[in-house]
Amino acid sequence: DVKVTQSSRYLVKRTGEKVFLECVQDMDHENMFWYRQDPGLGLRLIYFSYDVKMKEKGDIPEGYSVSREKKERFSLILESASTNQTSMYLCASSHLRQAKNIQYFGAGTRLSVL
């Protein structure tokens, strides 16, 4: 079974802090994704990566950056956390060449910025 592991289930940070959210997958997937999920807004794509050191902006990249130094790891970085970044963050991965394009999700990180 595919396993996508997010390093923290809950995080509490202060405004202005630099925050790292880590995601690791064990299925050798090329694609990795970061979403945020807010009530009434569904899932919104922040960034995705289709290869090591490659990244593409999603729908809401402002205030975020990402890092993909190894194929299995995709990090989301909040350079200076703000209260409007309080949200549920979901990481996912998928196989680049699989036509079905099924995504596998981690359990999520609920981030609170105070």
111 in contact with another protein (CB under 8 A): no
1 interacts with another protein by CB under 8 A: no
Residue matched to tokens 């995709």 = 74
Pair of tokens at residue 108: 């999520």
Instruction: Please report whether residue 108 would count as binding another protein according to CB under 8 A.
Output: yes
In angstroms, the CA 80 to CA 60 distance is: 16
Does residue number 4 form part of the binding site for another protein (CB under 8 A)?
yes
- Are residues 29 and 23 in contact, defined by beta-carbon separation less than 8 angstroms? no
87 binds another protein (CB under 8 A): no
Report the C-alpha gap between 77 and 102 in whole angstroms: 25
> Considering the rule CB under 8 A, would residue 52 count as an interface residue with another protein?
no
Nearer to another protein, 44 or 79 (CB): 44
User: Which range, of 12-20, 63-71, 74-82, 103-111, touches another protein by CB under 8 A?
Assistant: 103-111
- Give yes or no for residue 62 binding another protein (CB under 8 A): no
Q: Which is nearer to another protein, 12 or 79 (CB)?
A: 12
User: Are the CB atoms for 109 and 5 separated by under 8 Å?
Assistant: no
Among 114, 110, 107, 106, residue whose Cα is nearest residue 88: 110
